[in-house]
Amino acid sequence: MSSAKFGGKGPRWRHELVLSGPSLRDGDPVAECERALAQAGWSREAIDPLALLIAELWHNALEHGVLGLDSALKERPGGYSEYYVLREQLLRGVTEGRVRILLEQVLVHGEPALAIEIEDSGAGFDAVEPRAPLPAGKSARKSGRGLHLVRELCESLEFSGRGNVARATCRWEGPLAG
Amino acid sequence: MRPTGGKDLPFRPKEWARAAEETGRTPMPILSNLRVDGTLVLRVVGRFDYRAREQFLESYEHCDSEPCGFEVDLRDAEYLDSSALGLLLTLRDFAAAKGARVTLCNARPLVARTLAAAEFGQWFTVA
């Protein structure tokens, strides 16, 4: 884990944490990232949308990458609750798997921005189209909303590796400022 | 927490928020209250996600009387993630089966943006 004050002349601010084994179950990386952002000078208002993005990408990495859960389960009657009960069960027994979270200050077109990179030890998935629409259908879908929300709230979202590395870039104050 | 007819229950979001902060973001309380007009009002405080699932389901599934409508008051919600969007859709399914509508109201900017991104206007009354 390394960090440096944002805006200084030294190395750009970055904060990294790695969760594996029991820390996947017991850790709260979102709260830890928030603490790091607050210490580095982000305001509470700026942290809320960033925390939301971190939470979405972390849950995605944990649930699909590490635990191998399939969101399609949420669409079955009563499936939404079933999904989270199964998540609990799988998480209790988790011994393998790893998630790495990296927050780093970057410049986008000369403007300060925050990159959130989350890598999981899972099999990944085929890169999705850059701005996939919400899943269509007559009934309101309960799955497939996380990454859509991330795309709406950040500047860019890219996948690399075998689809197991997600990197979202957000402007300093985030798109909410504009 | 069981909804009771027409009586306001003590609502102390600041105390709950402080308690959650101290204990490391425990699930935030969902307060339900059956208004005299028969609308069941659910108020969520803080960060709304899957950790509030059991409390959220309990708050409307075990209501003593039949509500004629549902309202989710989001004034104290800091953010909603995609798992909370799923919870809201579960409530919508429950309400639709009874021919009732769900209103989402008083959302702060980030929450309003989240609802708009999810195109929730087509499934809920967003006020």
- Whether residue B46 lies within 8 A of chain A, CB to CB, comes out as no
d(CA B124, CA B91): 10
d(CA A153, CA A147): 10
**Residue range A54-73, pLDDT digits in tens:** 999 999 999 999 999 998 99
- Whether residue A172 lies within 8 A of chain B, CB to CB, comes out as no
Q: Which two tokens stand for residue B112?
A: 């309003």
- Whether residue A88 lies within 8 A of chain B, CB to CB, comes out as no
Name the band, by pLDDT with cuts 50, 70 and 90, for residue A45. confident
**Contact across the interface for A153 and B114, Cβ inside 8 Å:** yes
- Whether residue A47 lies within 8 A of chain B, CB to CB, comes out as no
pLDDT at position A125: 72
Closest CB to B109 among A59, A146, A176:
A176
d(CA A20, CA A170): 26
**Contact across the interface for A55 and B86, Cβ inside 8 Å:** no
- Whether residue A152 lies within 8 A of chain B, CB to CB, comes out as yes
Residue A10 vs residues A43, A85, B63: alpha-carbon distances, Å: 22, 46, 58
Radius of gyration (C-alpha) of chain A in whole angstroms: 17
Instruction: Pick the more confident residue, A50 or B27.
Output: A50
Write down the CATH superfamily of domain B14-126: STAS domain (3.30.750.24)
Name the band, by pLDDT with cuts 50, 70 and 90, for residue B23. very low
Q: Which two tokens stand for residue A43?
A: 């305001």
Lowest mean pLDDT among B28-37, B43-52, B76-85: B28-37
Taking CA atoms, what residue in A is nearest to B109?
A176
Lowest mean pLDDT among A40-54, B14-28, B58-72: B14-28
A119: CB partners within 8 A, 6+ apart: A61, A99, A100, A102, A161, A164, A165, A166
pLDDT at B25 > cutoff 70: no
- Whether residue B101 lies within 8 A of chain A, CB to CB, comes out as no
pLDDT at position B120: 95
Size of interface A-B (CB pairs under 8 A): 68
pLDDT at position A168: 96
Average pLDDT over residues A136-146: 75
Residue B7 C-alpha, separation from nearest chain A C-alpha, in angstroms: 30
Closest CB to B110 among A48, A140, A148:
A48
Instruction: Pick the more confident residue, A116 or A22.
Output: A116
The values of phi and psi at residue B100, to 5°, are: -105, 160
pLDDT at position A138: 54
Residue B61 vs residues A55, A79, A149, B22, B57: alpha-carbon distances, Å: 28, 16, 28, 30, 6
- Whether residue B25 lies within 8 A of chain A, CB to CB, comes out as yes
**Contact across the interface for B89 and A140, Cβ inside 8 Å:** yes
Residue B102 gets the label, from left (phi > 0), alpha (psi -120 to 50) or beta, of beta
pLDDT at position B63: 76
Residue A57 vs residues A120, A124, A160, B125: alpha-carbon distances, Å: 10, 13, 14, 29
Taking CA atoms, what residue in A is nearest to B22?
A31
- Whether residue B94 lies within 8 A of chain A, CB to CB, comes out as no
Q: Is the ipTM of this complex over 0.90?
A: no
Answer for the pair A113, A126: CB distance below 8 angstroms, yes or no.
no
**Residue range B56-75, pLDDT digits in tens:** 998 998 877 789 999 999 99
Burial environment of residue A85 by CB neighbours within 10 A (0 to 12, 13 to 18, 19 or more):
exposed
CATH class of A14-177: alpha beta
Domains in chain A: boundaries: 14-177
